[in-house]
């Protein structure tokens, strides 16, 4: 099957091809000209005037979330991707995402909360200082990276929507634009891609909404202009190009779980002791390294997040 093959075909070589500097800069200049902060969307503002602050990439505050591990090369982070909306080969997202227009962008907020509505990206993030966070990133396919994200913690953003006591889970949905996303023209997954977290997971200080990497706006292939980053979970939980956030009472459906429930659970915490039905999760290949390394429980974040799962059987709730 297509999906299963592609999940296997992941190992091996990091493509040496990189985004040419000129292409990268011309895109950034286009974004600057388009006015990252001037998206003229008629959407309600959560914030008091002057609300629609531009996202300020020139003033990124450095966070305490750092690692004593070298960053993965930017070329690898931006050319070795999983983003099936643009194809299933690792190089496809960088190659096929040139027609995707990440701006203007708005996010539909719905469900069990006091302030549902459509919010421009700048309204969601603009009142926070962007910060950078270096996290380990571990794909279920047993490769990993160390990525410097730029964005804001998820919890405070969610709190401003006033989740009700019925909000037990948070759902996320990726944009559906088959014209700009050629992979969506094929039945690779049940589009649009959806993900979810339990509300306490979403509120955890490690959960992050990224709008950039390496100090710059997210390239399309990495989930522009807004993606989730949940560093203690397998990479597929970190849903890209998010256009919808919902508060739900029941556990929301998630794409890989729908596609293959035996292989991909709702929680999908990185766990070296719980094998994937078709391969071991004990080790991983850090992109750029030759030798494999041991995978850490919850990707090395067990001290921070372990208590979220106290009393749960992690073999059963995978």
Ligand X SMILES: Nc1nc2c(c(=O)[nH]1)N[C@H]1C(S)=C(S)[C@@H](COP(=O)(O)O)O[C@H]1N2
Contact positions toward Mo ion, by CB under 5 A?
82, 139, 235-236
Q: Is 193 in the site for ligand X (CB under 6 A)?
A: yes
Shortest Cβ 307–ligand X spacing (Å): 26
Q: Is the dihedral of CA 211, 214, 220, 221 positive or negative?
A: negative
Interface of this chain with ligand X, residues 129 to 158, rule: CB under 6 A? 139
Using alpha carbons only, what angle is made at residue 113 by residues 195 and 208, rounded to the nearest 5 degrees?
A: 45
Q: Is 231 in the site for ligand X (CB under 6 A)?
A: no
Q: Which residue has the tokens 């609300």?
A: 51
Q: Which residue is nearest to ligand X (CB)?
A: 235
Q: Which is nearer to Mo ion, 207 or 255 (CB)?
A: 255
Number of residues engaging ligand X in binding (CB under 6 A): 16
Shortest Cβ 50–ligand X spacing (Å): 32
Tell me the per-residue interface mask from 93 to 112 with ligand X, x by CB under 6 A, - otherwise. --------------------
Tell how strand 227-229 and strand 208-213 pair up.
antiparallel
91: number of Cβ within 10 Å: 16
Which option in ligand X, Mo ion, none does residue 284 bind, with CB closer than 5 to 8 A by kind?
A: none
Shortest Cβ 155–Mo ion spacing (Å): 24
Q: Is 240 in the site for ligand X (CB under 6 A)?
A: yes
DSSP bridge partners of 212: 150, 217
**Residue 194 near residue 253, CB atoms below 8 Å:** yes
Which option in Mo ion, ligand X, none does residue 169 bind, with CB closer than 5 to 8 A by kind?
A: none
Residue among 127, 174, 268, 299 that touches ligand X (CB under 6 A) = 174
Q: Which is nearer to ligand X, 128 or 176 (CB)?
A: 176
Q: Is 184 in the site for ligand X (CB under 6 A)?
A: no
Shortest Cβ 200–Mo ion spacing (Å): 23
Q: Which is nearer to ligand X, 46 or 270 (CB)?
A: 270
Shortest Cβ 240–ligand X spacing (Å): 4
DSSP 240-278: -SEEEEEEESSPPP-HHHHH-TTT--SS-B--TTS-BTT
Residue among 65, 84, 264, 267 that touches ligand X (CB under 6 A) = 84
- At residue 195, the 3 state secondary structure works out as strand
Tell me the window of 39-47, 97-105, 235-243, 276-284 that interacts with ligand X (CB under 6 A): 235-243
Using alpha carbons only, what angle is made at residue 196 by residues 72 and 259, rounded to the nearest 5 degrees?
A: 85
**Residue 55 near residue 37, CB atoms below 8 Å:** yes
**Residue 221 near residue 94, CB atoms below 8 Å:** yes
Nearest 10 degrees: CA dihedral of 180, 183, 185, 191? Answer: -100
């Amino acid at each position: 099957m297509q999906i299963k093959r592609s999940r296997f075909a992941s190992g091996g070589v990091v493509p040496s091809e990189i985004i040419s500097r000129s292409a990268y800069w011309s895109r950034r200049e286009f974004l600057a000209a388009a006015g990252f902060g001037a998206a003229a969307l008629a959407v309600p503002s959560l914030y008091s005037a002057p609300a629609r602050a531009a996202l300020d990439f020139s003033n990124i505050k450095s966070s305490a979330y750092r690692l004593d591990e070298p960053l993965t090369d930017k070329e690898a982070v931006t050319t070795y991707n999983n983003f099936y909306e643009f194809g299933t080969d690792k190089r496809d997202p960088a190659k096929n995402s040139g027609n995707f227009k990440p701006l203007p962008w708005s996010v539909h907020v719905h469900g069990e909360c006091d302030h549902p509505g459509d919010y421009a990206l700048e309204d969601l993030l603009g009142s926070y200082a962007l910060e950078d966070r270096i996290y380990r990133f571990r794909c279920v396919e047993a490769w990993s990276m160390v990525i410097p994200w730029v964005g804001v913690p998820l919890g405070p953003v969610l709190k401003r929507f006033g989740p009700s006591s019925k909000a037990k889970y948070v759902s996320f949905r990726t944009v559906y634009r088959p014209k700009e996303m050629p992979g969506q023209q094929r039945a690779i997954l049940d589009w649009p891609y959806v993900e979810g977290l339990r509300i306490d997971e979403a509120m955890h200080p490690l959960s992050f909404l990224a709008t950039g990497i390496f100090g710059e706006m997210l390239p399309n292939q990495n989930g522009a202009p807004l993606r989730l980053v949940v560093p203690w979970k397998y990479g597929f939980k970190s849903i890209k190009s998010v256009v919808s956030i919902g508060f739900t009472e029941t556990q929301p459906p998630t794409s890989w779980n729908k596609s293959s429930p035996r292989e991909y659970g709702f929680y999908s915490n990185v766990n070296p002791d719980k094998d994937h039905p078709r391969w071991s999760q004990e080790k991983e290949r850090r992109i750029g390294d030759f030798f494999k390394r041991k995978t850490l429980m919850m990707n090395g974040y067990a001290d921070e997040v372990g208590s979220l799962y106290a009393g749960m059987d992690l073999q059963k709730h995978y």
